[in-house]
A and B are shown apart, each in its own frame.
Chain A
Amino acid sequence: MKASNSLWKESLTGKLPEDLAHEIDIFETDLGLKKQGKLDERLIAETRLRRGVYGQRYDNGQRHDGKRVQEFAYPSGPLTKGPNTLWDAPGMQRIKIPAGGLNAAQLETLAELAEEYSDGIAHITTRQDVQLHYVHIDDTPTLMRRLAAAKITTREACGNSVRNVTACPYAGVCQDEVFDVTPYALALSRFLLGHPDCQSFGRKFKPSFSGCAQHACGLANMHDLGLVGVTHTENGKEVRGFAMYVGGGLGTVPYQAKLFHPFLPPEELLPIAQSIARVFARLGEKKNRNRARIKFLIHDLGIEKFKELVWEERKTLPHDPRWTQYVEMAKESKEEPLRPPGETPSRASEAFERWHKTNVRPQRQEGYSTVTTTLPLGDITASQLRALADIVRRFTRETLRTTVEQNFVVRWVSNRDLVDIYEALNPVGLGDPGAGNIVDIVACPGTDTCKLGISSSRGLAMELRNRLAQKSFEMDAAVQNLHIKISGCFNSCGQHHVADLGFYGVSRKMAGYAVPHFQVVLGGEWESNAGSYGLPVVAVPSKNIPQVVTRLTDRYVAIRKSGESFKDFVKRIGKVEIKSLLEDLTRLSADSADRSFFSDWGDPREYGLGDMGVGECAGEVVSAIEFDLAAAEREVFQAQVDLDKGNFQQAARTAYLAMVHAAKALVKLELQDVPDDPDRIIREFTTRFYDTQKFYDSFAGGKFAQYLFAAHVSSNKPDNPDSARYLIDEAQLFIDASHACYNRLGTVSVA
């Protein structure tokens, strides 16, 4: 696409690491082979994914423009870069940033690439990566070469591989940490990158490091491999190690990680990670990608059996000197301050004080602080990246990290420079206050660019941010510190399960039209490394979500007990009362002329799932199915109430029945007299909706139906609350999918 693509390779010869240069050459060759029809469709898809080259919404060449589905006539015509993915359609490039660490030159490189190959914006993700959107695949080899010249790789940023190794952005400077986990994170990242033992996973594998157990920064509990720094005393000496957790993950049904080892010595970190990789590659599910994450393997085997297999594997590993070398090498590059420590100047503006309160955090090294630059929705312009590069050069030795809250943290700022750095950040739009508070909303890309998006997570985040920013500093302190996280669908990229107020996108049919909704997810905990997961309480039309936030926060302020967290408040008053509080918001406005409900935030097009597949009209049984699906929703809600009361077996039974009833609702579209027998309902559902693929989601396929089948076969008899919880999540997802199926079958257009 770019005229200079052919010149860059020559221009950068000798300027990038040989191994990366070689890999990129191979990738470029593969693209050429695909153009010549010599490479399989699935192979090119996985090849590009393993280099971080993702598809983007509408890349099948179709887009509903609000009136009709347009077919885009791209110059390359039907040429594809994977199944149902057109060559010329814009895509997303994900860029791995291990532990979130970047220097000034790397910021400048990202700025150049955002301008020249993307839309001028770099996006920080919830896993400390950087993403560029609207990139043409022909530009990606050049883009990768320019990144490699700045010592950045995109390798294994996507695909069934070891993803970015994340780490607490305060590691090394945090007052509460046990020790600095950064060198270990960098060593693990380097060791596993392209490792032969990590090339045949059935799904992705995400590691994370945290320097303490109590804060959220590393989110160890929601990772495939979570490592928390710990120490103990041996012979009177303090010894470092890691509490190692495995099998955590969000996704559609979140799993809390299990403790693999309470104190793993640092020298065993890399070999045990390698052993886990080998076990996962050997025994993990390969065919059914919906059960291919390591969390399912561990759940099926049981943690004790899994541990046994890993330790057995460890015994067979040939010694690799890199296990310790990489850690020692990473330790050599120690961060240091540029300027002497000092005191914060006393005379400062009110604006500075507000910013200082939320965005500045004292380091454990006296006289220094970290400074967070809040990025709305994780977005930063090329000009801002260059300005930030100048700022980190001026005040620090280029010590900067991305965060999972989609911000930057500048480390080692002398306290005497805090006013000056604020005055440097503010004119370039990087000095907004509110880091980590209710205004600092996290959102995945959602329907803006993601193929899986159901509702506009970014649109909602922007709306909430605008409303909350105006009054956040007058809010009760307890509310100011709440976390809002939004995902555009059930896949949890916005980490809604671990927010105080979480939302994920679903669709519902109301008054004959598809209406964008969000499930309200409550009970999650961000602190304690994502200590607990919330559950969906009720689905509310997208346009009513701001009122949901207002009502819940107002009620929290009004009746909270002293020191009571939002999570504890939710638990105390119970989901029944919360649902009742929000009940009227689940309905459309009384004003029948208000069509705003039929479009999403920031997108004036009539809302629909047309971009995800269109079906035929369902006929006249509309009201009956809506009634039946609503009944199923009530049942799954009741299951939550049962679970909250500790009756997990009853909860599981109710959740299972909710699924059966939702399935029955769909079957009734075709067979009005379906009997009340679960076996018969599932048989009819299978024949009529599963085998025919009418129930299939464009991207999730039949995944949610498999939840029903599994629950039916297992007789829904869980042996612990976790299993009941998983079943409730699965039941809600099955019901959401039933709504979506019904929408596809019979959505009418707004006249």
Chain B
Amino acid sequence: MEFQHLNVKLFVEKEEKVDLEALIPVFHSWIQNQAGGELLLDVADYRHIRSGPGVILIGHEGNYSLDNTGGRLGVRYNRKAELEGTNQDRLVQATHATLAACRRLEIEPRLGGTILFHGREIEVLINDRLLAPNTLETRAAADSEFRTFFSTLFRDIEYAVSYPQDPRSLFSVHVKASQAFDTTALLNNLNSMAPVSHQG
């Protein structure tokens, strides 16, 4: 089974402190600087929708958003372009893109340290229902890939996984580690894995 179009979401700590409006000029400045090595195009503002995608930075290879889907705020990277390599490579790419975006927001002076990530919970989705329908078969096929990846990401710390049941939803896995990591630690853990191209 091939993982493509991975989405990775890392949840925000103290959601009530986050002002989505303040994020808009930050995303615009990422476009000005073409931050992160991907082609960044535009900003879409969906703050008016409850439990929606919040504010999205539209890119060519992938979108970044401060996403409130499911009523939980987090940075979500949505890989749109197909990516060569192994499934582990793709997991590393999408997670690295997410963590790097999180880190940039944490240290962004205009946000004044209001956006922090607890690094204990992470959600991985496959945004392609034909490649990965939300079934038990997909879960079985993906399980060993996920175990390999999360063992590295969380440095063999115990973690629990859960899978949403609705067959209409995208196939996804929600992972909760037994201890918190900061984004820098998670990035370091990730860097210990085989390097991959993040451009695709």
The interface of chain A, by Cβ under 8 A from chain B, is 1-4, 7-8, 11, 57-58, 63, 65-67, 70, 72-75, 88, 90, 108, 111-112, 115-116, 119-121, 133-134, 136, 376-377, 379-381, 383-384, 386, 428-429, 448-449, 458-459, 462, 465, 602-605
With a cutoff of 8 Å between Cβ atoms, the chain B residues found around residue A65 in the complex are 28, 31-32
* B31-43 Cβ-contact flags toward A at 8 Å (1 or 0): 1101000010111
Q: Is the CB of A119 within 8 A of B39?
A: no
Considering only residues 17-55 of chain B, those with a C-beta below 8 Å from chain A are: 24-25, 28, 31-32, 34, 39, 41-53
Q: Is the CB of B45 within 8 A of A448?
A: yes
Q: Is the CB of B80 within 8 A of A1?
A: yes
Other than the given A1-B80, A72-B41, A134-B42, 18 more pairs (CB < 8 A) read A4-B4, A11-B130, A57-B42, A65-B28, A67-B32, A90-B42, A111-B168, A112-B129, A119-B53, A120-B53, A120-B69, A121-B46, A134-B63, A376-B48, A379-B49, A379-B52, A458-B45, A603-B24
Cα of A73 to Cα of B68 in the assembled complex, Å: 31
Residue on B nearest A70 in the bound complex, by CB: B31
Cα of A119 to Cα of B55 in the assembled complex, Å: 11
- Of A7, A133, A381, A602, which one neighbours B45 at CB under 8 angstroms? A602
Q: Is the CB of A88 within 8 A of B45?
A: no
With a cutoff of 8 Å between Cβ atoms, the chain B residues found around residue A377 in the complex are 48
Q: Is the CB of A74 within 8 A of B60?
A: yes
Q: Is the CB of A4 within 8 A of B41?
A: no
Residue on A nearest B81 in the bound complex, by CB: A1
| B58 contacts partner chain A, Cβ-Cβ < 8 Å | yes
With a cutoff of 8 Å between Cβ atoms, the chain B residues found around residue A429 in the complex are 49-52
Cα of A112 to Cα of B5 in the assembled complex, Å: 14
- Of B39, B44, B131, B168, which one neighbours A73 at CB under 8 angstroms? B39
Residue on B nearest A604 in the bound complex, by CB: B25
Q: Is the CB of B168 within 8 A of A90?
A: no
Residue on A nearest B125 in the bound complex, by CB: A115
Q: Is the CB of B5 within 8 A of A121?
A: no
Q: Is the CB of B41 within 8 A of A90?
A: yes
Q: Is the CB of B32 within 8 A of A1?
A: no
Q: Is the CB of B52 within 8 A of A121?
A: yes
Q: Is the CB of A90 within 8 A of B58?
A: yes
With a cutoff of 8 Å between Cβ atoms, the chain A residues found around residue B46 in the complex are 121, 379
The interface of chain B, by Cβ under 8 A from chain A, is 2, 4-5, 24-25, 28, 31-32, 34, 39, 41-53, 56, 58, 60, 63, 69-70, 80-82, 127-131, 166, 168-170
Check A66/B28 contact, CB under 8 A, given A90-B58, A115-B127: yes
Q: Is the CB of A58 within 8 A of B45?
A: no
With a cutoff of 8 Å between Cβ atoms, the chain B residues found around residue A111 in the complex are 168
Cα of A459 to Cα of B56 in the assembled complex, Å: 15
A-B contact list, 12 entries, CB within 8 Å: A3-B82, A88-B60, A108-B168, A119-B44, A120-B69, A121-B46, A121-B53, A380-B49, A383-B70, A462-B45, A465-B48, A604-B24
Minimum C-beta distance from A502 to chain B (A): 21
Q: Is the CB of B80 within 8 A of A381?
A: no
Q: Is the CB of B130 within 8 A of A134?
A: no
Cα of A74 to Cα of B39 in the assembled complex, Å: 8
Check A604/B28 contact, CB under 8 A, given A111-B168, A115-B170: yes
With a cutoff of 8 Å between Cβ atoms, the chain A residues found around residue B28 in the complex are 65-66, 603-605
**Residue of B28, B47, B52 contacting most chain A CB atoms (<10 Å):** B52
With a cutoff of 8 Å between Cβ atoms, the chain B residues found around residue A72 in the complex are 39, 41, 60
- Of B2, B32, B52, which one neighbours A381 at CB under 8 angstroms? B52
Q: Is the CB of B131 within 8 A of A121?
A: no
Q: Is the CB of B127 within 8 A of A116?
A: yes
Check A119/B56 contact, CB under 8 A, given A3-B128, A428-B51: yes
Q: Is the CB of B32 within 8 A of A66?
A: yes
With a cutoff of 8 Å between Cβ atoms, the chain B residues found around residue A386 in the complex are 166, 168-169
Q: Is the CB of B39 within 8 A of A58?
A: no
Cα of A120 to Cα of B28 in the assembled complex, Å: 20
Check A462/B39 contact, CB under 8 A, given A66-B32, A112-B129, A604-B28: no
Check A2/B56 contact, CB under 8 A, given A7-B130, A72-B41, A602-B45: no
Q: Is the CB of B5 within 8 A of A3?
A: yes
Q: Is the CB of B32 within 8 A of A121?
A: no
With a cutoff of 8 Å between Cβ atoms, the chain B residues found around residue A108 in the complex are 168
**Residue of A57, A74, A384, A602 contacting most chain B CB atoms (<10 Å):** A602
Minimum C-beta distance from B84 to chain A (A): 11
Q: Is the CB of A136 within 8 A of B80?
A: yes
Check A4/B130 contact, CB under 8 A, given A136-B80, A381-B49, A459-B45: yes
Minimum C-beta distance from B177 to chain A (A): 26
Minimum C-beta distance from A479 to chain B (A): 22
Residue on B nearest A383 in the bound complex, by CB: B69
With a cutoff of 8 Å between Cβ atoms, the chain B residues found around residue A119 in the complex are 44, 53, 56, 58, 63
Check A134/B168 contact, CB under 8 A, given A116-B128, A602-B45, A604-B24: no
Q: Is the CB of B42 within 8 A of A58?
A: yes
- Of A8, A66, A133, A602, which one neighbours B130 at CB under 8 angstroms? A8
- Can you list the 10 inter-chain pairs with the closest CB atoms, starting with the nearest? A429-B50, A3-B4, A4-B130, A604-B25, A376-B48, A3-B82, A65-B32, A120-B53, A381-B52, A602-B45
With a cutoff of 8 Å between Cβ atoms, the chain B residues found around residue A379 in the complex are 46, 48-49, 52
Minimum C-beta distance from B129 to chain A (A): 6
With a cutoff of 8 Å between Cβ atoms, the chain B residues found around residue A116 in the complex are 5, 127-129
With a cutoff of 8 Å between Cβ atoms, the chain A residues found around residue B25 in the complex are 604
